[in-house]
Amino acid sequence: MRSTKQYVNLSHNKVENHLKTLQNEFEETVTPTDTVTYKLRQFFWSNFFGFVYHYFKSRFGKRYPYQSYPKDGDSGVYQIPENTTLALLSDWATDTVESDLVGRLAARYNTDYTLHLGDVYFVGAPKEIRANFLNPDASWPWGKNGSLALSGNHEMYSNGRGYFEELLPRMGVDQAGVRVSQKAGFFCLENAHWRIIGLDTGYTSVRNPIMEILNPPDCRLKDVQIQWLKEQVKLGDPNDQRGIIFLSHHPVFSVFRNAFPKPGEQLRKILGNGDRPVAWIYGHEHRMVIYHTQNLPNSLTVHGRCIGHGGMPVELKAPETHDPIYFMDDRIRERLRRKNVSYNGFAYLEIKRPQSLMKYIDMEDTMIFQESWRVENGAVIVEQADAT
Ligand SMILES: [Fe+2]
């Protein structure tokens, strides 16, 4: 179990994230009676060269090979019941008291599917994957019919090895009574009315340090993912009038930090026009925000929902502008390292034929916001949205 305090003020600096992973490993090896000098000396000698080696290997080394469908007869498109429930957690895997609370609370909702929208802290190392998801005392809420995971940027800080080798083989969904393991960083869950499409924006969110200066990562969907969307998902089929819910780690729209518009622009090219509103649920930013519907330039018309408040401290920060915000959870829960911190939580999605109900549940099991959507000629319409 980790202390929540070490996550306050955490930057996207890869050095800091690698150091924190090593610091945690080290702290597990010393006993409370060791002196500070001894601990420091041990930390330096046991970790310094290891850190330098692992940091350079992961920052300049090759990313884990990109995975795609079809693979072993699996198209990555899975059928789900007409009436079904899902729990959506993002930026959750911190192995803290808070992530345990949220994980165990989501488990009590006993949903058919549970989805993680990415970021296993600090660097998605195999040990961190096991602590959050796989160990007997891990608190990931496994869905009755399966669980799937997207990659965030933190999984890619260690080149994705932990994510692809440790996590994905344990993720998967039941199809006709058989458990199918997750084979790539993206997927589609669908029934007669809805398509829930998980996009991989994590893999392209990190490059080696020189490339990041020359050509900053834009979280674009790689060509093979575009090909999958066209050929397996058949996303561009004009006769397909199902409602689309995109999931990604990175935000397509934000008024707090940099958004990543590229995937929206790529999807518009496949979908043909931007007039068919879609729901888009994302994390990366550690807060819970409901945006007004946005007609994004050269992109899609999006009902944007940020649910990155799964497990990281929700450090309150003023937006650049309030205009696009319909609702945000800015209640102060506690002061942590002189920062105001709000509530963690998750989203509960209930699909009932052409209707969908989204409930935003905080760590104390209070529903702070709910909304209902319906599908009409391929468009996702927000019928009702209320803070409770
Ligand atoms: Fe992230």
Residues 88, 52 within the same domain:
no
Instruction: Please list the residues that pair with 79 across neighbouring strands.
Output: 190
What is the per-residue pLDDT across 320-365, written as a single tens digit (0 to 9) for each? 999 999 999 999 999 988 889 999 999 999 999 999 999 999 999 9
Residues 371, 351 within the same domain:
yes
283 CA to centre of ligand 1 in angstroms: 7
Q: How confident is the model at residue 47 (pLDDT cuts 50, 70, 90)?
A: low
91 CA to centre of ligand 1 in angstroms: 7
328 CA to centre of ligand 1 in angstroms: 19
Count of CA atoms in the C-beta half-sphere (13 A) of 12: 15
Cis amide prior to 65 (ω within 30 degrees): no
Residue 191 has pLDDT above 60, yes or no: yes
34 CA to centre of ligand 1 in angstroms: 35
Tell me what pLDDT residue 329 has: 97
Residue 55 has pLDDT above 90, yes or no: no
**77-79 and 187-190 strand pairing:** parallel
Tell me what pLDDT residue 8 has: 84
Residue 36 has pLDDT above 60, yes or no: no
What is the per-residue pLDDT across 267-285, written as a single tens digit (0 to 9) for each? 999 998 768 999 999 999 9
Q: What is the arithmetic mean of pLDDT over 50-73?
A: 81
Q: What is the arithmetic mean of pLDDT over 81-90?
A: 98
247 CA to centre of ligand 1 in angstroms: 13
Residues 21, 148 within the same domain:
no
Residues 54, 143 within the same domain:
no
**What letter would DSSP give residue 163?**
I
Q: How confident is the model at residue 40 (pLDDT cuts 50, 70, 90)?
A: low
Cis amide prior to 187 (ω within 30 degrees): no
288 CA to centre of ligand 1 in angstroms: 14
Q: Are 385 and 223 in contact (CB under 8 A)?
A: no
Residue 46 has pLDDT above 80, yes or no: no
Residues 34, 92 within the same domain:
no
Residue 12 has pLDDT above 90, yes or no: no
- Which CATH number fits the domain that encloses residue 89? 3.60.21.10
241 residue type, one letter:
Q
Tell me what pLDDT residue 270 has: 96
Q: How confident is the model at residue 45 (pLDDT cuts 50, 70, 90)?
A: low
Angle between helices 14-27 and 36-60 (to 10 degrees): 140
Residues 11, 149 within the same domain:
no
Structural domain span for residue 42:
4-59
338 CA to centre of ligand 1 in angstroms: 23
243 CA to centre of ligand 1 in angstroms: 26
Q: Domain tally for the chain?
A: 2
Q: What's the chain's average pLDDT?
A: 91
Residues 41, 172 within the same domain:
no
Domain endpoint, select from 18, 43, 59: 59
Residues 170, 300 within the same domain:
yes
315 CA to centre of ligand 1 in angstroms: 14
237 CA to centre of ligand 1 in angstroms: 32
Residues 44, 80 within the same domain:
no
Residue 111 has pLDDT above 60, yes or no: yes
Residues 236, 99 within the same domain:
yes
Residues 241, 371 within the same domain:
yes
Q: How confident is the model at residue 380 (pLDDT cuts 50, 70, 90)?
A: very high
- Percentage of the chain modeled with pLDDT above 90: 76
Residue 377 has pLDDT above 70, yes or no: yes
163 CA to centre of ligand 1 in angstroms: 14
151 CA to centre of ligand 1 in angstroms: 9
Phi, psi of 315 (to 5 degrees): -80, 120
Tell me what pLDDT residue 262 has: 98
85 CA to centre of ligand 1 in angstroms: 25
312 CA to centre of ligand 1 in angstroms: 10
Residues 325, 237 within the same domain:
yes
